[in-house]
Structure 1
């Protein structure tokens, strides 16, 4: 496959700057509200469960329910996203999430907290988010000129990091003000995204035969998996990312318990994730530049070493500001990783396979997140927060060694095929 095969339908110089692309701006801003809503609820779920039940295992149950769609839904979602109209699918996702989080807001407003209800809504919201994210990723390259693709994807990463920067501490503060507010805000965010999608006039996919037709779902899934399996660098890198994502799910729960064990109020968590989010945003803004200047294998190895050192330092402090600064360092590295991976995957994958390849990559890279959440709950219950954080740092160092030794990580495409211009 050549770069042209995966670069989109247009060629030549762009006729307008990206900042004047109405369709992309509508999609970008609407998805930003959607991601902000998701970030707000993601931190609200474990907070509600932990502070109402006092059980790390109950907290991990709800967190695991929110992560299970990454394992169970991704592959069929990828095939269906490639088969169905992406814009209509995204509208359905937003309508479903409005109803789901609205039910939690209503229940909390009348003082009802039920772990099974929270787990069911967390699963539903996350499953719809999988469909939405896959459709949005495939839509971007059909709304922007190929020359603008790296910048657009870097802006998408910055948008996600900004959503985390605002959403996670915002979710904590909204929760502190009223238990139902995080979910009421999320319903508003999904509604704003829904309205933005209605205003976009361009198609979200290239014209192709068989759209929304054909019963061969398993065969379509297998086609995407076969294509990805033939990409040696991608499959090795995704195995590495899967390991790091498990560890970061454990770290996220450990930070919450670390704050609670220190006897600090729940609002303190807003400081940690707020400062940490600044690092992720800076990494996203620098991502396209770093992606052009460094080989991806170098990023993987150096990033894992940096993560091990930063997480190890977290195991020796409970000071909120210092934890936030260390968390910011991990976020910076992760954001650069995400930009580099997005550019590589979107540019090299044909449009008709975007959903399936992204879903397969998501399954390998993030589908094991539920394992991290479950293991994190068990370790936290047995060891407490500080020893768990230190164990995570040791495991991250082992992954850095894997990146050094893995032969397939030396097989990325030459720089001239992945240059972002």
Structure 2
């Protein structure tokens, strides 16, 4: 396993790493802007007199790149200079978003225009985030990788928390304002990228064809039995989480709760994920991959039945916050493991395959939850979810014991 990032230099404090600070701050501005825009797309359509079908179509266009762009974007990140990929992604995203308020001023904003802008912004965001994740290993010392990825995960959780209320607040003042914030976020990111001195990757070999590079990435992932098993487990876990979220909404509604109650539970869930990400590096210094991977699943197995037993908002908030904390912690741990075992020239493709597998299940969650809730009700649906999570914990334990081995635990502990 090859690990870059200046292994010969003794690490100082991560906060003194100028280039990582610039990369983190620029990405925070860009990701927050993308989040603000993603919330604003359907709202803009609805409040501009459009139909629910049109709003759903625009929202779908914004999410479609997650299914169709991930794999080619991973190849792009490995073939091209990653700093240039991020700069181009910011530029494309900025122009796509800026066209929306420009069209508003000209009174020519149409649904096809919004569809194209949303799709381009979503595509640019995927390319940017894959390149940024791959670049982290080049700008930090190996000893700082867990802390760096922990801060990155916390940044993503924080953007999710701030993005929704910020987007709706700005939209209440003027329909162009959320998109203006997104344009500024892309601009800030471009400035910080130009100020970073460290190269984002080693000199690249002459690339093969797109399909050969993609096939090489898929073959490498197929050989990583532990990583492949973990991605499959996380994918189903995400699906179960979507089912539980929908169940929670119905439980609150059936018990006479208000919409604000659901919002408060959502806020607690976001805070839990943020805390899990922030403490990720602390736990990685003290616990093995086996303990973290299986332990976070077992924690969810213990917590899920509480959802079926009580409609109390504060208990539901605590349960969902704790499960989100476990998810944030596992995201950091899994990210560190994937980055450390992946060769430098394969970082983009490995991350894109992982993102496709784990995020693809999100679209199936609401559909599965709706069918289960309609067929058996909330209590039985939660029981089924608890059973599924128990099976996942057992499968995770089996996979780690079978494929983990001593060598992988060493890679996990320190490169």
Q: TM-score under structure 2 normalisation? A: 0.83
Relative to 1, partners in 2 of residues 1:168 and 1:149: Cα closer, same or farther, differing over 3 Å?
Answer: same
The 3 A distance-change label for structure 1 pair 247 and 405 is closer
- Structure 1 residue 186 and structure 2 residue 182: aligned? yes
For the residues of structure 2 that align with 1:191 and 1:253, how far apart are their CA atoms?
Answer: 37
- Quick check: 1:68 aligned with 2:64? yes
Residues 312 and 390 of structure 1 are in contact (CA less than 8 Å); yes or no, is this contact kept in structure 2?
no
1:146/1:301 CA distance change after superposition, 3 Å:
closer
> 1:205: how far off?
0.6
Q: How many angstroms apart in 1 are the aligned matches of 2:42 and 2:209?
A: 39
Contact kept, 8 Å, 1:67 with 1:369, in 2: the verdict is no
Figure out how many residues of one structure are paired with residues of the other and give that number: 408
Aligned twin of 2:138: 142
Q: Deviations over 1:327-365 (max 9, x none)?
A: 422321111011101110111111111111111222222
Separation in 2, partners of 1:309, 1:92 = 46
C-alpha distance in structure 2 between counterparts of 1:54 and 1:389, whole Å = 34
- Given that 2:78 and 2:345 are in contact with CA atoms closer than 8 Å, whether structure 1 keeps it comes out as yes
- Give 1:350's match in structure 2, choosing from 332, 343, 346: 343
How far 1:68 sits from its partner (Å)? Answer: 2.6
Pick the aligned partner of 2:149 from 148, 153, 158.
153
1:220 aligns with 2:213: yes
In the TM superposition, residue 317 of structure 1 has moved relative to its aligned partner by 4.0
Give the conservation status (yes or no) of the 8 Å contact 2:301–2:389. no
Contact 2:251 2:311 (8 Å CA) reproduced: no
Q: Deviations over 1:242-284 (max 9, x none)?
A: 112234456667778999997957x877644433322122111
Give the direction of change, closer, same or farther, for the CA distance of 1:166–1:286 in structure 2 (3 Å limit).
same
Report if the CA contact (8 A) 2:289-2:412 is conserved. no
Match of 1:16 among 8, 12, 21: 12
1:174 and 2:170 are equivalent in the alignment: yes
Greater Cα offset, 235-244 or 97-106: 97-106
Residue 397 of structure 1, CA deviation: 3.6
Q: For residue 405 of structure 1, what is the aligned residue in structure 2?
A: 395
- Aligned partner of residue 404 in structure 2, secondary structure: coil
The structure 2 residue matched to 1:395, chosen from 385, 401, 415, is: 385
Where does residue 410 of structure 2 map in the other structure? 416
Deviation track 1:2-52 (CA, whole Å, cap 9, x = no partner) reads xxx1x2153234253221111111101000111112222333345556777
The answer to whether structure 1 residue 92 and structure 2 residue 88 are counterparts is yes
Flag the 1:44–1:135 CA change in 2: closer, same or farther, 3 A.
same
Shift of 1:236: 0.7
1:291 is matched with 284
8 A contact 2:337–2:411 mirrored in 1? no
2: CA distance, partners of 1:187 / 1:389: 45
Secondary structure, counterpart of 2:7 in structure 1? coil
For 2:31 and 2:86, locate their aligned partners in 1 and report how far apart those are by CA, in whole Å.
13
Contact 1:221-1:356 within 8 A present in 2 as well:
yes
Deviates more, 1:65-74 or 1:173-182: 173-182
The alignment's C-alpha RMSD in Å is: 3.7
Partner-residue secondary structure (3-state), 2:197:
coil
- Distance in 1 of aligned mates of 2:83 and 2:145: 19
Q: Measure how far apart 1:120 and its partner are.
A: 3.9
In the aligned structure 1, how far is the partner of 2:124 from the partner of 2:284?
30
Post-superposition CA distance 1:129-159 (Å, at most 9, x none): 1111111111111111122212111111122
Pairs within 5 Å for 1:303-322: 303-307=296-300, 317=311, 319=313
| Alignment check: 8 A CA contact 2:307 2:319 kept | yes
Q: Is the 8 A contact 1:39 1:167 kept in 2?
A: yes
In structure 2, the partner of 1:238 is 231
Scaled by the length of structure 1, what TM-score is found? 0.82
Q: Aligned equivalents of 1:250 and 1:63: distance in 2?
A: 20
CA distance in 1, matches of 2:392, 2:345: 33
